[in-house]
């Protein structure tokens, strides 16, 4: 299986998962890493069985490049909140781009930077998504092994709340902290609630979540729902669009 690992606008944190799983794949006869700039100087940009894509699309050059990778790959897997939702840099999508730009740079060099940072699914079809900021390396292994075994990968689609119940973690919302657990997909094992802080949504919204209900609850408790989501790393996720940002 020829694998390519690609980076777009991102912090590099999700492709590090491949270093985490290196002991598992380093001696595998079934896997050939044919393109992975951060790991190797020997890269063949040709055809790929699986392309793992980290990062959001935030320049015109990236728009072209993701389409080219799609054309060359049988399977495209979006890894991490940037590729899946647009990432923390999509926080700029909710402000005035020129203003945000001018806080960082004095001069207007970047004419090719898009005002919006978008998920790759806005440009190409995506076969699987591995969520999180960063991803859970176990889910990458699940994708790879499933594809090798020709079975459907099992990627969790239940909310953080379920994991809190399983682990008997007292509900932070009940205890008085803002928590996005009810609308956020679990993949972290309810990490933040287990460490005494509310979920800040780094795995992103779950399909079909009852956003309205949580918004009402936040309002009742005096928490700012929209601000917490906009601070998060999945604010521009397609599930949020049209529901939260009308």
Partner 1 sequence: MEIKLNPLTRVEGEGRVIVSIKDGKVNDVFLNIFEPPRFFEGILVGKNYDVAPDITARICGICPIAYQMSSVQAFESAFGIDIPKEIEDLRRLFYYGEWIQSHTLHIFFLHLPDFFNLPSIFEVNKINPEIVKIAFNLKRFSSKLIEIIGGRVSHPVTAAVGGFYKTPEENNLKEILKDINLVLEDTVKAIDYVSRLNFPDYSIENVLFVSLKDGDNYPILKGDIYSSDGLTIKKEEFLEYFNEYEVPHSTAKFSVKKDGKHYIVGPIARFNNTFDKLLPLVRETAKKYSITPPIYNPYRSILIRLIEILDCLYRSKSLIENYRRIDKATVDFEVKAGVGVGVSEAPRGILWHRYVISETGRILEANIIPPTSQNQYIMESDVKRKLLEVKEDEIRERVLEAEKSIRNYDPCISCATHFLKVDKLYLNNR
Q: Which stretches of the chain bind partner 1, using CB under 8 A?
A: 7-16, 19-20, 22-23, 26-27, 33, 37-43, 58-62, 65, 87-89, 91-92, 95, 99-105, 107, 109-113, 117, 133-134, 188, 191-192, 194-197, 200, 202, 227, 231, 233
Asked if residue 134 has a cis previous peptide bond (ω within 30° of 0), the answer is yes
**Which residue, 46 or 61, is less far from partner 1 as judged by CB?**
61
**Which residue, 77 or 235, is less far from partner 1 as judged by CB?**
235
**Which residue, 68 or 212, is less far from partner 1 as judged by CB?**
68
**Which residue, 92 or 239, is less far from partner 1 as judged by CB?**
92
Concatenated DSSP letters of 168-213: TPPPHHHHT----GGGBB-SS-SHHHHTTS----TT-BPTT--HHH
The answer to whether the CB of 221 falls within 8 A of the CB of 176 is yes
State the nearest-atom distance from the C-beta of 76 to partner 1, in Å. 19
**Which residue, 35 or 128, is less far from partner 1 as judged by CB?**
35
State the nearest-atom distance from the C-beta of 23 to partner 1, in Å. 5
State the nearest-atom distance from the C-beta of 239 to partner 1, in Å. 21
State the nearest-atom distance from the C-beta of 198 to partner 1, in Å. 10
The backbone region for 12, taken as left when phi is positive above 0, alpha when psi lies in -120 to 50, beta otherwise, is left
What CA–CA distance (Å, rounded) separates 69 from 19? 22
The backbone region for 55, taken as left when phi is positive above 0, alpha when psi lies in -120 to 50, beta otherwise, is left
**Which residue, 112 or 212, is less far from partner 1 as judged by CB?**
112
C-alpha distance across the termini of the chain, in Å? 43
**Two tokens, residue 160:** 């953080």
The answer to whether the CB of 80 falls within 8 A of the CB of 98 is no
The answer to whether the CB of 128 falls within 8 A of the CB of 153 is yes
State the nearest-atom distance from the C-beta of 39 to partner 1, in Å. 5
State the nearest-atom distance from the C-beta of 12 to partner 1, in Å. 4
Alpha helices in 80-179 (DSSP H): 80-85, 97-104, 137-149, 160-166, 172-175
State the nearest-atom distance from the C-beta of 127 to partner 1, in Å. 24
**Which residue, 231 or 242, is less far from partner 1 as judged by CB?**
231
């Amino acid at each position: 299986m020829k694998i390519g690992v690609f980076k777009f606008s991102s912090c590099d944190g999700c492709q590090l998962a491949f270093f985490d799983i290196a002991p598992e794949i380093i001696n595998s006869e079934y896997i050939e890493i044919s393109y992975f700039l951060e790991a190797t100087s020997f890269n063949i940009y040709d055809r790929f069985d699986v392309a793992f894509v980290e990062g959001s699309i935030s320049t015109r050059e990236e728009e072209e490049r993701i389409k080219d990778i799609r054309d060359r790959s049988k399977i495209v897997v979006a890894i991490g909140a940037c590729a899946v939702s647009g990432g923390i840099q999509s926080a700029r999508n909710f402000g005035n781009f020129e203003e945000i730009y001018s806080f960082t740079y004095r001069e207007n060099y970047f004419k090719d930077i898009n005002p919006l940072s978008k998920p790759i699914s806005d440009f190409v079809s995506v076969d699987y998504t591995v969520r999180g900021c960063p991803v859970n390396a176990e889910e990458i292994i699940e994708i790879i092994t499933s594809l090798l075994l020709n079975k459907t990968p099992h990627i969790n689609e239940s909310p953080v709340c379920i994991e809190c119940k399983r682990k008997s973690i007292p509900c932070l919302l009940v205890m008085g902290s803002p928590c996005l657990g009810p609308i956020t997909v679990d993949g972290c094992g309810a990490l933040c609630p287990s460490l005494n802080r509310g979920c800040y949504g780094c795995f992103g919204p779950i399909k079909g979540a009852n956003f309205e209900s949580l918004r009402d609850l936040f309002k009742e408790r005096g928490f700012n729902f929209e601000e917490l989501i906009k601070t998060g790393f999945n604010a521009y996720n397609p599930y949020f669009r049209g529901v939260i940002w009308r």
